[in-house]
Amino acid sequence: MISFSQVTKRYPGGHEALSGANFAIEKGELVFLVGHSGAGKSTLLKLIAAIERPTSGVVSVSGQNVGRLSHHAVPYLRRNIGLVFQDHKLLFDRNVIENVLLPLDIAGFDRREALKRARAVIDKVGLLKREKANPVSLSGGEQQRLCIARALVSRPALLLADEPTGNLDAGYAADIMTMFRDFHQVGTTLVIATHDDRAIAALGGRTLRLDHGKIEAAA
């Protein structure tokens, strides 16, 4: 589903965030990206979602060369990818369900169908009672679950999560990892950047370790 071949990403200013990365992730796999902060985990995820473009090498997602994708094709790639951010990136000018509806509106869903889907996914992350609440009033863990609901509502084949449990205490973190395991079991491909070792131990799956921009070992 995802393959990196000799991928290097150098930022303006010369910092090399990723150096000659080579790996492949199969459809339906659960992969953890680990490594110290600044090791290149976020950059790797951004390259998959075409938020950044590689300096050299080829990033391919579902057979598409992401680095060569035209500006107009990028949105359609992203509609097949669910993104979960450490800082959630929720919109505070609208309530919970409207945040979840956003990807469906963008994709042009019928309103009734969209509401049905949004409710289902909000229920799945346990926020159904808060659907009219403003995200500001949610706890950190709830905000993260809302972010996950938004990432999943359009039923993407691929979910990318950047430190999804980074700011959460252990109880919330375990909840969220359990949720991810459920999605993995229904066939979603997951790539999760984390340094939560307990989560990795609990969920299993493959680990890609990054060190100063280099893929160290595939365990």
Which residues form the interface with other proteins (CB under 8 A)? 49, 51, 72, 75-79, 83, 89-91, 93, 102-103, 105-108, 110, 150-151, 154
Q: 14 or 108, CB closer to other proteins? A: 108
Q: How many CB atoms lie within 10 A of CB 42?
A: 19
Shortest distance (Å) from residue 148 CB to other proteins: 13
Shortest distance (Å) from residue 149 CB to other proteins: 12
Q: Across the strands, what pairs with 16?
A: 10
Shortest distance (Å) from residue 83 CB to other proteins: 6
Shortest distance (Å) from residue 103 CB to other proteins: 5
As a residue count, the chain comes to 219
Q: 90 or 173, CB closer to other proteins? A: 90
Structure token pair of residue 24: 């492949």
Angle, helices 140-152/170-185, rounded to nearest 10 degrees: 10
Q: 142 or 162, CB closer to other proteins? A: 162
Q: Is the Cβ–Cβ distance between 57 and 43 less than 8 Å?
A: no
Q: 40 or 156, CB closer to other proteins? A: 156
Rounded Cα distance, 17 and 212, in Å = 7
Integer CA distances (angstroms), 135 to 51, 117, 160, in order: 25, 19, 22
Q: 51 or 128, CB closer to other proteins? A: 51
Q: Is the Cβ–Cβ distance between 102 and 150 less than 8 Å?
A: yes
Q: Is the Cβ–Cβ distance between 66 and 48 less than 8 Å?
A: yes
Shortest distance (Å) from residue 68 CB to other proteins: 18
Shortest distance (Å) from residue 5 CB to other proteins: 25
Structure token pair of residue 32: 């953890």
What phi, psi does 144 have (nearest 5°)? -65, -40
